[in-house]
Structure 1
Amino acid sequence: MPRAADKQLDVLESPSLPNLQLVQAQPEPKEKQYLFRGTAPYRRASIALFLSGFATFSLLYCVQPLMPIFAADFHISPAASSLSLSLSTGFLAFAIFCAAAVSESFGRRSLMFASLLGAALCTIACSLVPSWHALLVIRALEGLLLGGVPAVAMAYLSEEIDPRGLGASMGLYIAGNAFGGMAGRVVTGTLAEFFSWRIALGTLGFLGLAAAVGFFLLLPASRNFTPRRGFDARFHLRAWIGHVSNPALPFLFAIGFLAMGTFVTVYNYIGFRLVLPPYSLNQTELGLIFTVYLFGIAASWIAGMLGDRIGHFVVLPAGIAMAAAGVAATLSSSLPLIILGIVLLTSGFFVAHSVASALVGRLARGTKGHASSLYLLSYYVGSSVAGSAGGYFWSADGWNAVVLFTLALLAVGMIAALVAARLSRR
């Protein structure tokens, strides 16, 4: 009479039970190893991503205050001088799509470090080039390289950070963006005034190098990401289509477009108003307006923590409402009230951007880099399209028309936030 163990073995080896054998052979699913808030690796990752945001946006926007100097030194028109920024942002928007696909094969950390290192070296090279066209070529290359950071950074945070602490971490990353955007404008403008634009760009390039090295040393390696072998165009296309088919995500992409479009439009044309009587501000005084980015830094961080505690879809419409209140306040003829309005707009924008970024990471189903790339594509297209369209409103009826245009954008953004909240609950 066979033993019980032999009977068990006969059952497992029986050809009539192939499915049972497959189940026995399958490995257990790998448990995600998140970085939890309050731990040293979480703090290191947050600081590293802050440095990446600082480097990206300081290197990207450092040429904005230098455009009048470029026009004088290279004997070009103001419109031509603006190519030093518009070429970079244009190639950045294109590169974001490519970066999301490339990072699926090469990894998050390595791609971000290579992008930051290359962009910093490009900025140093810009300080040395003898001709305008050479500077433009390098700036275009720099925008292409910087595309490897924003979408991939958001994907890294979404994959590696515990969802309960994602909002705070994402908020700190967006704060780094704000700080970099301010530093790139204020620092280079100040250095160029006292020394030269070449020294200003060279100094910022070396600061970018230091930030890139700090980023690489601090950021923990990915633990929840598995690179894909080869390049499968159909896989990437399916990933993008899948995110667009997600009910709530397209509305978050729209918020990125509308919020950034509002923010850039106000900053583009408020200077035209303030250089005229009765304000008659000079260029230095206008440049100091960029220091209100400090409020954006604080707002991003606070919004992230509040989103984790009381709900991201509670904080998101509050940020949009704050931005709308700020835009409306700029209708005042009082300069202090106009500055207060810019502060409210800046804070509300960074609240909305920080929370919307975190929500894209939370709601995306797999391939989070692709979802982030779609959000950032909408974000930068909003900057380009709405920022340019605002000029037509300024020419038509001055500041009143600009305010009506931007308030209409924010009204649509508020509707998108409420619809996205309802769809996410379903």
Structure 2
Amino acid sequence: MSTPTASPAPASGAAPSEYLTRGTPGLRRAQWALFAAGFSTFSLLYCVQPLMPLFTHAFNVSPAQSSLVLSLCTGLLAIAIFFVGLFSQALPRKRVMAFSLFASAVLGTIAAVAPDWHSLLALRALQGVAMGGVPAVAMAYLAEEVEPGTLGFAMGLYISGSAFGGLSGRVITGLVSDHFGWRAAMGTLGLLGIVAALLFVWLLPASRRFAPRRGQGWAGVWGDVRAGVGAHLKNGPLCGLFAMGGLLMGAFVAVYNYVGFRLLLPPFSLSQTFIGFIFVVYLVGIFASTFFGRLADRHGRGAMLSAATGLALAGLLLTLSDSLPILIAGIVVFTFGFFAAHAVASGWVGQMARGYKALAASLYLLVYYVGSSVLGSLGGHFWTVGAWHGVAAMAGGLLLGALSISAGLAWRTGRRHRTAAEAAPGGTAVRGG
């Protein structure tokens, strides 16, 4: 069984190359390439959310059944992420992500002409499998290639691309579907995904601090997998981050799945286009990801993770209002808190992992998307029983669980830093974590 390492040395055996550093062309290209990858993946993933009320009429399915078009995709995405992560040490980073982007965009385009509900679900399931390469590898690529002091900012920009994709997918499909129908909306997103994939291939620098581990055979690969999974599952704080990902994403998807249903009903009775444009609040997610990523680099991840989760919970409480401006303000605050927390937690995973960083990222994202698939779909039953108050109660419980975990992580890291400060000469320690 091999010993965990932060990242494999280049195949030649030479010393690892220098990190991508802030202000260099290489880092700028990497950041924008991964911004494009995040945009494509998450616009295609979430473009169906504002279309769910249309699916209930087009295919004569219930609101809970309509959520399968998202939850089935995210569920298969979770499994794909995990398996790509298992074998990521033997796979070239850029090639995996490029294949994932092209395949998911093509499948998204084909889904626009699905003849019936079951065909649409099958294509969305295949699309979820195809999407797995980007989330599984992007976090590991950044953790390996970007200098540690800039990692929070770089990870924040990748999450910003995800936020921009989620925004664009919802707004574009809401606008196009109102005028041309849901098929034209999904086809438009598929074509945009192909363009983003081309930009990604052109911009992303090849890995310099990672080389695929060839020639070790299946036994060697599985040995690495067992060693990596075992090491990560014995790492209590890292498992706490995994759990946080699932709880945060479950709450987020439940809210966004069913807020459209609420806004279609009295006292709001909004149009599909207006509901789509409400998702412009995703812009705050772009800002929140980079802003909190920088704060985490400066002030510590534990405290920032707790603050971001608390903001998400406060925003959720505001959505209980029947005043449209207050409800929209609640969605803004909720979205800000979610993306801030996700950016901090995902960036922390790469640093907290003791080797096998891609596998750690895959485990985080496995739990993250299982939360999306299972808990997001479960929100439909809470909607049936208690309408919006039922969904909000479910999401609030999930956020309270995430807040308790983040508080524990903040206390643990704070205690470690205080101990280090007491032991350091002059009672001063360099901040970390």
Using the size of structure 2 for normalisation, the TM-score is 0.85
2:178 counterpart (182, 186, 193) = 193
Letter in 2 for 1:332: S
Gaps of 5+ in 1: 1-26
User: What secondary structure sits across from 1:295 in the alignment?
Assistant: helix
Per the TM alignment, residue 395 of structure 1 is displaced from its structure 2 partner at its CA by 4.4
Residue 109 in structure 1 maps to residue 94 in structure 2: yes
Q: Which residue of 2 aligns with 1:258?
A: 247
Considering only aligned residues, what root-mean-square deviation do their CA atoms show, in Å?
Answer: 2.4
- Cα offsets for 1:190-225 (capped at 9, x unmatched): 223323433333322221111111111111111111
Per the TM alignment, residue 177 of structure 1 is displaced from its structure 2 partner at its CA by 0.6
1:369 counterpart (358, 365, 368) = 358
Residue 412 in structure 1 maps to residue 397 in structure 2: no
Which moves more between the two structures, 343-352 or 398-407? 398-407
Contact 1:247 1:423 survives alignment (8 Å):
no
User: What secondary structure sits across from 2:194 in the alignment?
Assistant: helix
Residue 180 in structure 1 maps to residue 165 in structure 2: yes
Per the TM alignment, residue 359 of structure 1 is displaced from its structure 2 partner at its CA by 0.3
Letter in 2 for 1:200: A
Rounded to whole Å, the distance in 2 between the matches of 1:269 and 1:278 is 15
Letter in 1 for 2:82: F
Rounded to whole Å, the distance in 2 between the matches of 1:84 and 1:203 is 18
- Cα offsets for 1:353-377 (capped at 9, x unmatched): 0000000011111111111111111
Contact 2:145 2:208 survives alignment (8 Å):
yes
Rounded to whole Å, the distance in 2 between the matches of 1:220 and 1:173 is 15
Q: Which residue of 1 aligns with 2:5?
A: none
Q: Which residue of 2 aligns with 1:50?
A: 35
Q: Which residue of 1 aligns with 2:139?
A: 154
Letter in 2 for 1:317: S
Greater RCO (CA < 8 Å, at least 6 residues apart): 2
Per the TM alignment, residue 315 of structure 1 is displaced from its structure 2 partner at its CA by 1.5
Letter in 2 for 1:344: V
Contact 2:64 2:377 survives alignment (8 Å):
no
Rounded to whole Å, the distance in 2 between the matches of 1:71 and 1:399 is 18
2:191 counterpart (178, 185, 206) = 206
2:206 counterpart (218, 221, 225) = 221
Per the TM alignment, residue 289 of structure 1 is displaced from its structure 2 partner at its CA by 2.2
Compared CA separation, residues 76 and 347, structure 1 to 2 (3 A): closer
Q: Percent identity?
A: 53
Rounded to whole Å, the distance in 2 between the matches of 1:325 and 1:196 is 36
Residue 93 in structure 1 maps to residue 78 in structure 2: yes
Q: Which residue of 2 aligns with 1:13?
A: none
Rounded to whole Å, the distance in 2 between the matches of 1:377 and 1:365 is 18
Per the TM alignment, residue 247 of structure 1 is displaced from its structure 2 partner at its CA by 2.6
Rounded to whole Å, the distance in 2 between the matches of 1:111 and 1:365 is 23
Rounded to whole Å, the distance in 2 between the matches of 1:415 and 1:80 is 32
- Cα offsets for 1:52-97 (capped at 9, x unmatched): 0000011112233334555555666666554433332121111011
User: What secondary structure sits across from 1:149 in the alignment?
Assistant: helix
User: What secondary structure sits across from 2:20 in the alignment?
Assistant: coil
Which moves more between the two structures, 200-209 or 355-364? 200-209
Residue 127 in structure 1 maps to residue 112 in structure 2: yes
1:387 counterpart (349, 359, 376) = 376
2:329 counterpart (305, 322, 340) = 340
Which moves more between the two structures, 391-400 or 140-149? 391-400
1:313 counterpart (294, 302, 309) = 302
Rounded to whole Å, the distance in 1 between the matches of 2:98 and 2:67 is 28
Contact 2:178 2:272 survives alignment (8 Å):
no
Compared CA separation, residues 205 and 246, structure 1 to 2 (3 A): same
Q: Which residue of 2 aligns with 1:350?
A: 339
Rounded to whole Å, the distance in 2 between the matches of 1:125 and 1:274 is 30
Aligned residue pair count: 400
In the TM superposition, 1:26-45 aligns within 5 A as: 30-45=15-30
In the TM superposition, 1:262-277 aligns within 5 A as: 262-277=251-266
Contact 1:171 1:304 survives alignment (8 Å):
yes
In the TM superposition, 1:131-150 aligns within 5 A as: 132-150=117-135
Per the TM alignment, residue 131 of structure 1 is displaced from its structure 2 partner at its CA by 5.0
Per the TM alignment, residue 397 of structure 1 is displaced from its structure 2 partner at its CA by 4.3
Rounded to whole Å, the distance in 2 between the matches of 1:274 and 1:194 is 19
Per the TM alignment, residue 318 of structure 1 is displaced from its structure 2 partner at its CA by 1.1
Compared CA separation, residues 121 and 397, structure 1 to 2 (3 A): closer
Q: Which residue of 2 aligns with 1:323?
A: 312
Compared CA separation, residues 259 and 367, structure 1 to 2 (3 A): same
Rounded to whole Å, the distance in 2 between the matches of 1:150 and 1:91 is 13
User: What secondary structure sits across from 1:248 in the alignment?
Assistant: helix
Rounded to whole Å, the distance in 2 between the matches of 1:389 and 1:71 is 17
Rounded to whole Å, the distance in 1 between the matches of 2:113 and 2:386 is 43
Rounded to whole Å, the distance in 2 between the matches of 1:252 and 1:174 is 16
Per the TM alignment, residue 251 of structure 1 is displaced from its structure 2 partner at its CA by 0.9
Which moves more between the two structures, 198-207 or 388-397? 388-397
Letter in 1 for 2:144: E
Per the TM alignment, residue 412 of structure 1 is displaced from its structure 2 partner at its CA by 2.1
User: What secondary structure sits across from 2:133 in the alignment?
Assistant: coil
Rounded to whole Å, the distance in 1 between the matches of 2:68 and 2:248 is 24
Letter in 2 for 1:165: T
Rounded to whole Å, the distance in 1 between the matches of 2:104 and 2:272 is 28
Contact 1:248 1:421 survives alignment (8 Å):
no
Letter in 2 for 1:385: V
Contact 2:71 2:374 survives alignment (8 Å):
no
Contact 1:249 1:420 survives alignment (8 Å):
no
